[in-house]
């Protein structure tokens, strides 16, 4: 089984590229937000715990999200691998993912990182706000906070996966097709 992590700042095009990656390589896409909604809708024990936390305005702890991801790994069998999107976002989550996979005698196959400069993040998110009517994406202070959070909490994963020889950076500034071609060139190696 292959385990890919889709990585990059907000607005880098991860969602746009994930669909093509899933189709071409027969992967199961695990988006943490979608996974939470699915578990809550299914009424699973983890979903019930998450729903209670969300309804009380609390963040869902890593252990619950990790449990949901582990359940996906165990229960989805008709694929050649998994594409993790939105997880891991911190070093602690990366270490937890390694432990989950080690229990199955497996490891992360590769991290595919779509990188764009901060100015482009701002432009793309503002454009998305206009196109999709997402009010939260229209506020510069909110966008700046997301950029700072990415740099502080998620960017340290670059070193973590680079040290493991599993980090592959893609220039995300090109067209959708150009970026997709670069992603496929990386993934074809595995």
Distances (CA, A) of 136 to 85, 123, 147, 178, 186: 20, 14, 14, 29, 33
Six token digits for residue 22: 């899933």
8 Å CB contact between 65 and 36: yes
In three-state form (DSSP H/G/I as H, E/B as E, the rest C), the secondary structure along 83-133 is EEECCCCCHHHHHHHHHHHHHCCCCCCEEEEEECCHHHHHHHHHHHHHHHC
Who contacts 41 (Cβ-Cβ below 8 Å, separation ≥6)?
A: 47
Q: Which residue numbers are catalytic?
A: 14, 89, 128, 134, 146
Closest by alpha carbon to 82, among 123, 129, 43, 28? 28
What is the Cα–Cα distance from 85 to 153, expressed in whole angstroms? 15
The 3-state DSSP composition of the chain as helix, strand, coil percent (nearest 5) reads 60, 15, 25
């Amino acid at each position: 089984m292959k385990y890919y992590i889709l990585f990059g700042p907000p607005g880098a095009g991860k969602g746009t590229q994930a669909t093509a990656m899933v189709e071409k390589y027969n992967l199961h896409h695990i988006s943490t937000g979608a996974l939470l909604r699915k578990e809550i809708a299914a009424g699973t024990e983890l979903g019930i715990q998450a729903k209670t936390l969300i309804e009380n305005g609390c963040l869902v702890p890593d252990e619950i999200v990790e449990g949901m991801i582990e359940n996906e790994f165990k229960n989805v069998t008709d694929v050649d691998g998994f594409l993790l999107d939105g997880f891991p976002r911190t070093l602690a989550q990366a270490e937890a993912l390694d432990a989950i996979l080690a229990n199955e005698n497996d490891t992360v196959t590769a991290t595919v990182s779509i990188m764009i400069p901060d100015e482009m993040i701002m432009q793309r998110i503002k454009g998305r706000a206009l196109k999709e009517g997402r009010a939260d994406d229209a506020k510069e202070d909110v966008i700046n906070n997301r950029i700072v959070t990415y740099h502080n909490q998620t960017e340290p994963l670059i070193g973590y996966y680079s040290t493991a020889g599993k980090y592959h950076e893609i220039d995300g500034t090109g067209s959708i097709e150009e970026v997709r071609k670069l992603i496929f060139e990386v993934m074809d190696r595995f």
